[in-house]
Amino acid sequence: MGKFGLMAGTAAIALLTAAGAQAAVANNDAAAGKDNGAATVIEARVQMAQNAMPSQSSSSSTADLEARVRALEESLAARDERAQTDRTRLSTLEQQYNYASWTFDNGRPVIATGDGRFTMGVRVRFQSDFAAFSQDSAHPAGFAGPSDLSSGAVVRRAYFGVEGKAYSDFAYEFRLNAGGSNGGSAGASGVPTAGEGDPLLNKAVVSYTGLPGWHFNVGIIEPAFMFEGTTSSASLMFLERPEIDNIAADVFGAGDSRRGIEIGWAKTDALWAGDNLTATATFSGQKTGSAANHGNGGDENTQVLGRITERLWTNGLSNIQIGVSGAKVLNSGSNGVNGGSQTINLQDRPEVRVDGTRLISTGGIAAKTADMFAVDLGGNIDNFFLGGEYAQFTLDRQCGAITAAANAACASSTSVIDHPTFSGWYAEASWILTGETKAYSPSAINNEVGGFNMPVPSRPFSFSGDSWGAFELVARYSNTDLNWHTGQLATTSQLAGVLGGEERVIALGLNWYLNRNVRIMIDDNIIKVKKGTAALPNRDGQDINVVGIRLQFAN
């Protein structure tokens, strides 16, 4: 029995060794495209081992060896199946990588690679405005204000551009604008082709988004700044943003087409469940397509600005948010050769762009630097929306011809003698009659971070479907005061006060969203202007009514 056990063990070892050798041979043969019948060879070797064993081998030992052989066969089959599965998966991935797909999200054509790392979408935005002005026909003696504002039409915006991502961690946007304020577009020289146009190159930005919650924008950007400034122009409740937002954007570096760098961060549930904390910081220069404020002997117009918002509460559909914005003009730039005058002018139109006349304006104030701050609060409860904002602007006015002999602060003509301060505020409300809600944007790599956008109609307009889209009633009151020390007269030791004027606008409107891409807006602006001289503070005041209509397509 001892000899029998020794021989049986030797046969088993020989069997396993032969099986391993045969597996190696089978692998080599498979790589060369051969089929040597691994199972047949294994069975032959098993038979040889069995023949070499003494006749006294028990039937139980033979059954054990057969079980081992079956296990080896099953292992080989499983290995071949895994290899085939791996080849199939690799082939599928290669096909997906090379395959490009087209989609139409929100009417926006988007092409993407199979792996999703590269995308390109086509963006179009068209806004055509018509406005009719009605104003006082009688004016006081010496009246110097505009008496016949021009009714008419203008292509307010005509955007065409592309946007997308590259290698997943980078995003880009390139946009041209063939429309503009009060006429056509400004070309490369900065001279509008018709009236006062916007720069042709409206946006050209590259963004890095590889860090969760962060984005870094470089190029020709549109910074995220102030409450209405974080609402897309396609989602505005009225034809134009409030005057204080327009003034801040133009003077403090947040307007369209700014050369600059922006860093942004956003995080939901940052401080408590449901909150949304955002922060952006921007260094910007002058608008592209213009040589203004970049003359010989002076520095380019430069600003730093930032915004912080916190969503205080949300239930998924409703949101309440508070925000703070701040900015500083580092250098107002040179408006002439050899370091010509550095001036800042706060001004705006009466929340419509068909006529380019500014009814209130501080005029050019000699100032190299300025700063401002704004606070805002807004939110929606289901289909009701309410928001408002307050802003204050302070300029560091220079002495000019006043000398130190007359005023100790005036060591030179560029020394700061005083700080004219101006302010404004607005409150606005919306009621979406058809029940939709405004969409809140908790994060974005453009200027729509922490903003409220237009509703999406639940039943787009269609005669055949007996649906009419969405309807929204809107109202806004704004007050902008560009007067400062109106009774202060110029003397040898001080400069005169500023009589930029005060403007109050009551805006009432109806927005009809036919579908996600098309809407019609009707606004009625009731305007009261107070402006004049120190002796006659309301000499140029008047009442004006403007009815404006906009047709818009945006994807």
CA–CA distance, 92 with 103 (Å, rounded to integer) = 21
Q: Which of 456, 426, 321 is nearest to 380 (CA)?
A: 321
Model confidence pLDDT, tens digit, residues 278-330: 999 999 998 887 666 666 666 788 999 999 999 999 999 999 999 999 999 99
User: What residues in the chain have per-residue pLDDT under 50?
Assistant: 1-8, 10-39, 41-42, 46, 49, 56, 183-195, 337-339
pLDDT of residue 274: 94
CA–CA distance, 396 with 52 (Å, rounded to integer) = 108
| Helix spans in 149-255 (H) | 243-251
Q: Which of 360, 347, 350 is nearest to 133 (CA)?
A: 350
Cβ-in-10-Å burial (0-12, 13-18, 19+) of 294 comes to: middle
pLDDT of residue 104: 86
Model confidence pLDDT, tens digit, residues 401-439: 999 999 999 999 999 999 999 999 999 999 999 999 999
Q: Which of 374, 399, 102, 56 is nearest to 246 (CA)?
A: 374
pLDDT of residue 432: 98
Q: Which of 107, 195, 93 is nearest to 152 (CA)?
A: 195
The helix (run of H) or strand (run of E) holding residue 63 is: helix 59-98
Model confidence pLDDT, tens digit, residues 215-273: 999 999 999 999 999 999 999 999 999 999 999 999 999 987 899 999 999 999 999 99
Listed in sequence order, the residues at least 6 apart from 7 whose beta carbon sits closer than 8 Å to its beta carbon are: 52, 53, 54
- Give 229's DSSP letter: G
CA–CA distance, 307 with 231 (Å, rounded to integer) = 14
CB 189 within 8 A of CB 199: no
Sign of CA dihedral 529, 533, 538, 543: negative
pLDDT of residue 337: 46
pLDDT of residue 336: 52
CB 455 within 8 A of CB 440: no
CB 154 within 8 A of CB 353: yes
Q: Which of 218, 240, 219, 213 is nearest to 229 (CA)?
A: 240
Backbone angles phi, psi at 330, to 5 degrees: -80, -35
Listed in sequence order, the residues at least 6 apart from 358 whose beta carbon sits closer than 8 Å to its beta carbon are: 347, 348, 349
Q: Which of 287, 232, 230, 283 is nearest to 258 (CA)?
A: 287
Count other C-beta atoms under 10 Å from residue 467's C-beta.
16
pLDDT of residue 48: 55
pTM: 0.81
| Helix spans in 214-308 (H) | 243-251
pLDDT of residue 107: 82
